[in-house]
Structure 1
């Protein structure tokens, strides 16, 4: 790949360097505040093989491609693809039936309306799935938030608040449940130790399949 330079370097009060390949195949480096550019590039070069492999894998992952918001385009909802149907002469917003509908007069606003629709559905569905699974596991989150993050699908704060990205609502229900279980387990096991993964596996024995789906198909879960 020739000269391998980070697309972005983020310095903070951390002790180690971490490397991240974003869904659009960009290399992000997180480093200590006083880390020199020379040291960062040395680490990047040492990890060249891993970085190049991950970039190739990311570029080869499934994607719905650039959005045009036109009749016939497909959009995911709960893991199922729906064709966008434009209602001639109509001023209605987004609605769901056997297809995803929008009024012709609202088509210029389609991206914004879709994001708002997905966020509303996420606010309806995700807390209900959390509540159902939490009741079975006897885990009690303090609060549930729906967020608009790009780097994380979900997170668990030290205060017990669970946050979920609205884009998760595009994924299949079993993948959503994996993320929910992951965050609920964090309420009692804040790290990603072997003990943490053992607890996740006890609740969802096939969690690896769903985690793999999310990693391989994150490019599909975008608007």
Structure 2
């Protein structure tokens, strides 16, 4: 749907309110109640026009800090909130190695460096999230069905209606405190499948400083890329 010159992806679901989001790639999406007609949706979005353009301006400003990474000696890559340099080496290695605060990559593997970095992040994230999930699922009294690390496009994580919890492999780039927040956020969705005040109250009970992590993602999320 195009409103005021902006293309908006409409997602209908069993909800009572309209929420508008600027996705990480700059697209605009609106999650709306199924019962609303196109004209009603258009009128509601039109009323939120100022909010949409304000958020788009913020997105543009934040994305001025986007990092274009190349797989060359000295290029920095994020891991658990810190930047570490890449070093190309002559010897043959099994994928990306992380030793002495340096990423190591065989020169012969440079052409598949991105693929190898994704594998590295997936492996590391899988090893990090399960102990954290165990801690918080007991605190919240929830039990995820399946837990996966995968490509999630513009989301850091997701919780499916059947209780599966998925995490973007890029979460391995975030500081450990931010990773805790992302995990708690999705586990709370097993209790509240929306972002009502009850949802945020539950998050706040577990992580009273969660807004700091939200702000970190807002400012630094654009740099969590390959």
So what's the TM-score if we normalise by structure 2? 0.82
- Partner of residue 23, structure 1: 24
1:159-205: CA deviation from partner (whole Å, max 9, x where unpaired): 22211111111100001101111222222233322222222111111
**Aligned ranges 1:66-105 → 2 under 5 Å:** 66-87=68-89, 89-92=90-93, 93-97=95-99, 98-105=101-108
- Partner of residue 126, structure 1: 129
Runs of 4+ in 1 over 6 A off after TM superposition: 13-17, 30-34
Mapped partners of 1:115, 1:35: distance in 2: 40
Task: Evaluate the alpha carbon distance shift between residue 117 and residue 136 of structure 1 in structure 2; reply closer, same or farther with a 3 A threshold.
Answer: same
Q: CA deviation at 1:20?
A: 3.2
- Partner of residue 6, structure 2: 6
- Partner of residue 47, structure 1: 48
Task: Evaluate the alpha carbon distance shift between residue 82 and residue 206 of structure 1 in structure 2; reply closer, same or farther with a 3 A threshold.
Answer: same
Task: Evaluate the alpha carbon distance shift between residue 139 and residue 103 of structure 1 in structure 2; reply closer, same or farther with a 3 A threshold.
Answer: same
Q: Is 1:6–1:26's contact at 8 Å kept on the other side of the alignment?
A: no
Q: CA deviation at 1:76?
A: 0.6
Mapped partners of 1:30, 1:204: distance in 2: 26
Structure 2 residue runs of 5 or longer lacking an equivalent are none
Mapped partners of 2:31, 2:194: distance in 1: 19
Q: CA deviation at 1:118?
A: 0.9
Mapped partners of 1:8, 1:194: distance in 2: 25
Task: Evaluate the alpha carbon distance shift between residue 187 and residue 222 of structure 1 in structure 2; reply closer, same or farther with a 3 A threshold.
Answer: same
Structure 1 residue runs of 5 or longer lacking an equivalent are none
Q: Is 2:67–2:225's contact at 8 Å kept on the other side of the alignment?
A: no
Q: CA deviation at 1:70?
A: 1.3
**Aligned ranges 1:1-223 → 2 under 5 Å:** 5-7=5-7, 9-10=9-10, 19-28=20-29, 35=38, 40=42, 46-61=47-62, 63-87=65-89, 89-92=90-93, 93-97=95-99, 98-223=101-226
Pairwise CA RMSD of aligned residues? 2.8
Mapped partners of 1:159, 1:9: distance in 2: 24
